[in-house]
Structure 1
């Protein structure tokens, strides 16, 4: 897989902002720090390895207690962490050197054939996986991952427009739920894919 494109990197940075542990992002998120580093979906080993040079030992210990918590449990934990602040410089370094390569690897496994797509289209899907994870399995009684499966098929077929269309279709999951940031992010990803059609 190509190094993530400049446009895709900026899209993720703009969408994620700088998260502080005391402000829970909502939805099914965990306590989130730095550039979208979600403690609900990492491991203790990865967290310690990534952040040991940027947080004190006491901060690391307190944040470790949030690993694996999502939704309401994460919201309640975040309320106890408002005094911990992460810095942008360290957060961006971890984002670029540690997190993005990991997410690129996961994205490549989730969408076989992605390496044949233009770099901006690859990057849009890295943004998607960074935000939603790579699961293709619906929650019980829901169809919340059907677009992920359709994108997987579209990547294999090298159908860039279908990828963009499915990113837009995904917005249905957040309409009316006060999560406009996710709706805007899917649109930005779709546009980034479409911008690469002319260069493919």
Structure 2
């Protein structure tokens, strides 16, 4: 049984990994690397604020107890895998507070995006209102409705920021875990039916992929996504032993890397494919 010691910035080890994992339950979006650095301290203060504890940056028994009582945000995905997706969509807590809390434009085919990867180009007015009206002022809702179904631009997001439209992170997190994540888990399951049989972090890898690229399998640009489906179908053979299944599933990492052909190396999506490949490998190794 793990002890729950007092922790401060500079500490390292398994207790810090446990802390980071539990902080991720409430939206910290941390890498579970066991290093209590600036990002983890920021997340501790963030959690202390939610828990209405004093903002000390020190993890004491009261914070351990509160974090331990928090539910898993989406039980079908490992909390640290879920945190990976949210971090890729927002840049993390600090980046969110500095940039992503305002409407932003991720470029390429995206529309104006708010919160944790909520793209206004790919929603409807009724759905947008259902999800966001409880969280944003009516004037902000009316202005953002203008971007539904439309491709985004840097000019438009500058206009929205100038108008004072922003999304508090606690509201963004709520919509993400209650709606957006279940929606994309369902889309991923639709094209990869054996998703829930995979190791925890591998499930998160594929949901991250679909969250970023959508669920279409049509066309030359989707050949690796189709190849992944074939690998998963082959690996689901009940006569195979675990070692053979792991060998087959290892090929998914290669397909994720192969997808980088579609983007320039300096782009975020190119780098995201590498991170997803790393997460997939980690999931297999832990299985």
Cα 1:122–1:22 change in 2 (3 A) is closer
Q: Say whether 1:113 aligns with 2:200.
A: no
Counterpart among 250, 256, 263 of residue 167 in structure 1: 256
Q: Could you report, residue by residue, the CA deviation over 1:132-175 in whole angstroms, capped at 9, with x for unpaired residues?
A: 1111112xxxx211111111111212332121111111111112
How many angstroms apart in 2 are the aligned matches of 1:24 and 1:52? 21
How many angstroms apart in 1 are the aligned matches of 2:81 and 2:103? 27
The alpha carbon displacement at 1:76 in A equals 4.4
> Highest relative contact order (Cα 8 Å, sep 6+), 1 or 2?
1
For the residue of structure 2 that corresponds to 1:80, the secondary structure is helix
Q: Say whether 1:13 aligns with 2:86.
A: yes
Other-structure match for 1:155: 232
Q: Could you report, residue by residue, the CA deviation over 1:67-98 in whole angstroms, capped at 9, with x for unpaired residues?
A: 1112xx54443333123111111101111111
Map 1:37-116 → 2, pairs under 5 A = 37-70=118-151, 73-82=152-161, 83-116=164-197
Cα 1:23–1:115 change in 2 (3 A) is closer
TM-score (norm 1): 0.88
Q: Name stretches of at least 5 consecutive residues in structure 1 with no aligned partner.
A: none
The alpha carbon displacement at 1:38 in A equals 0.8
Aligned Cα root-mean-square deviation (Å): 1.9
Q: Say whether 1:193 aligns with 2:280.
A: yes
Contact 1:66/1:74, CA 8 A, preserved across alignment:
no
For the residue of structure 2 that corresponds to 1:68, the secondary structure is coil
For the residue of structure 2 that corresponds to 1:85, the secondary structure is coil
TM-score (norm 2): 0.62
The alpha carbon displacement at 1:197 in A equals 1.8
Structure having the higher Rg: 2
Q: Name stretches of at least 5 consecutive residues in structure 2 with no aligned partner.
A: 1-73, 91-95, 236-247
Q: How many residue pairs align between the two structures?
A: 192
